[in-house]
Amino acid sequence: MIKENDILEIDLIVKDNNTKEVLDTTLEEIAKQKNIYSEKINYSPLKVVVGKGELLENVEKNIKALEKGQKKTFSLKKEEAFGDKDSKKTKLMPMSDFKKENIRPVPGLHINFGNTTGKIISVSGGRVMVDFNHEFCGKDLEYTIEIKNIFSKDEEKITGLIEKFFYFVPKDKIEKKITEKQVELMLPPGLPKETDYLKNMFSKFVFDLTDYEEVKYSEVFKKK
């Protein structure tokens, strides 16, 4: 049985339960078939932590009895999922806010301000209308979830967290060394500046989910 603080590797398909339109998926083939494919998306199984709000509570309830390799399809009413749209979450923002973030606003663009994701509705007269409601608000949903892997033990969780936060680094380019209380990651040079933020997030999750007390990072240069 899946437990709180387990790390799951899952494939999913999310549909509008009324129209059966595919809204989201981790599967590239399905995305292309249903004309929702985007080159900006990395189509691969998700790594999610149970009990941390990364999945809806009602989604977690539906899959908690699953084992590795099992799949389940289930439906959620909108009240059990993302609820109805809230008009207060549609905001008119000045263009200057976007210039500060080096964002060129165009209708349909999804943006991230702080920890909030929104969709630009319109751009007019130096003002930008942004809808910060979740894009699935107002919809009854159908989920199909397959459990690809479950990371339950501390050392397994380190593997899951590496894949979650450093997914853009080839697996053979990251080495790890684990002792009783310390996790050391040996990373290749030349990673993007955002890696510092991901290091902090990785460390936080290590401390929250495992008994390790120290995380060490080393940058490794190798002779060609």
Average model confidence (pLDDT) for the chain?
Answer: 93
Does 92 share its domain with 162?
A: no
Crossing angle for the helix pair 154-165 and 195-209, nearest 10 degrees? 160
Phi, psi at 138, each rounded to 5°: 80, 5
pLDDT for 119-153, tens place per residue?
999 999 889 999 999 989 999 999 999 999 999 99
Residues 19-58 have pLDDT tens digits of 999 999 999 999 999 999 988 888 999 999 999 999 999 9
Residue 198: give the domain boundaries: 153-224
Domain match, 158 and 222 both: yes
- CATH code assigned at 6: 3.10.50.40
Residues 16 and 70 grouped into a single domain: yes
Closest CA to 60 of 75, 72, 50: 50
CA distance 213 to 208: 10
Which pLDDT tens digit goes with each residue over 70-86? 999 999 999 999 999 99
pTM: 0.84
* Residue 220 in this model has a pLDDT that exceeds 90: no
CATH number for 98: 2.40.10.330
Q: Work out the percent of the chain whose per-residue pLDDT is above 90.
A: 79
Pairing type for strands 182-187 and 214-219 reads: parallel
Under 8 Å CB-to-CB from 180, ≥6 apart: which residues?
none
Task: Provide the pLDDT for residue 111.
Answer: 85
Same domain flag for 45 and 148:
yes
Q: Average the pLDDT over each of 15-19, 44-48, 56-60, 108-112 and give the range with the smallest value.
A: 108-112
190 with 107, same domain?
no
Same domain, 36 and 146: yes
- Domain match, 219 and 191 both: yes
Domains of the chain: total? 3
| Same-domain status, 11 and 23 | yes
How far is residue 146 CA from its own chain's centroid?
A: 16
Looking up tokens 């999310």 gives 14
Say yes or no: 3 and 64 in one domain: yes
Last residue of some domain: 71, 97, 131?
Answer: 131
Residues 115, 162: one domain?
A: no
Is residue 113 over pLDDT 80?
A: no
Q: Do 40 and 78 belong to one domain?
A: yes
Same domain, 70 and 144: yes
